[in-house]
Chain A
Amino acid sequence: MPRRSLLRPGDWLVMTCGAIVCAVSFPLAWRAGPAEKAIVRRGGEPFAELELSRERRIEVPGPLGTTTIAVEKGRVRVLSDPGAHQYCVRQGWLDRAGQIAICAPNEVSVEVAGGGKTYDSLSY
């Protein structure tokens, strides 16, 4: 085997390509992607959009009183609601696109958006 230097011309090429891959991987891996959000509506009109990545709590005034909505760990839920049956509160955490909690008496709803909507409903 003839003596060769440790680094041959093509090696520099490969290393340069590797460096380019590294540089390109940052924007590719970290681009904002389809931001996962929760859409809060009051009386059918959009009231607020909440980023699911940021912990937050908002209060939505409705005809009956205040509905409190909380975002935590990429999920959203209705924390409290003046409605009589508490259906939307008891629904608990919503974490998948398309899930929705409706507090009908107070005319407030929160829906998880983003990603591809999967199904409105499934029946078996």
Chain B
Amino acid sequence: MTRSVTRLATTPEDHRVARLAAAAIGLALIDAAIPLPLPGVKPGLSNIVTLIVLARYGWRTAAWVSGLRVVAGGILLGQLLAPGFFMSLSGALSSLLILGAAIRLPGRWFGPVSWSVLAAFAHIGGQLALARLWLIPHNGVFYLAPFFAIAALAFGIINGLVAARLLASPAFTHPGEPHV
């Protein structure tokens, strides 16, 4: 009997995406384990990875990492194709769209903190829109919007600062070395 081995050709880019996505998934799991008073409010730690990837490797890689994190995170948390999964998907898609625009802002003036805050607001915007259209078709969902907005601002700033700090650290300022 001959053993057949299916080999997928992978590029270094694939490996990098996989490594980064793994880091993002790990943070997404930690995120899910942190208890917070309001359902739907999460620190969004894995977005730190998205921000770093965005700054270092560009929007395409960031979209891959973010998409993989949503799908794999959904599988690991038992949320795949459940409402929570679609909430996280709509949030991730909206923030990626905004990040695509935010990355074009002049770097002299706008840094990771700007991207992070903009993406966080896009995230709750996308989620509220989906919730209003699909999950809770009633304007009552907007009663919690102010709290979501405050959480977006706070966690957006914190995640942005962490990403900015990491991007400024020596491990990230010497490109060429494989890291993360």
Contact = CB atoms under 8 A, between A and B. Distances in A.
A62 to B, nearest CB: 35
B113 A15 contact: yes
Contacts of B165: 6
Chain A interface bracket (under 10, 10 to 19, 20 to 34, 35 or more): 20 to 34
A122 interface: no
Given A22-B146, A26-B146, A6 B168 contact: yes
Contacts of B153: 15, 18-19, 21-22
Chain A interface mostly: helix
B173 A11 contact: no
B10 interface: no
Contact of A7 (B111, B121, B149, B152): B111
B168 A8 contact: no
A8 B146 contact: no
Interface of B: 105-114, 117-118, 121, 139, 142-146, 149-150, 152-153, 156-157, 160-161, 164-165, 168, 173
Given A10-B114, A18-B153, 11 more contacts: A4-B107, A6-B113, A6-B161, A9-B109, A10-B109, A10-B111, A21-B149, A22-B149, A26-B146, A29-B143, A30-B143
The 3 closest A-B pairs by CB, nearest first: A10-B109, A10-B110, A11-B113
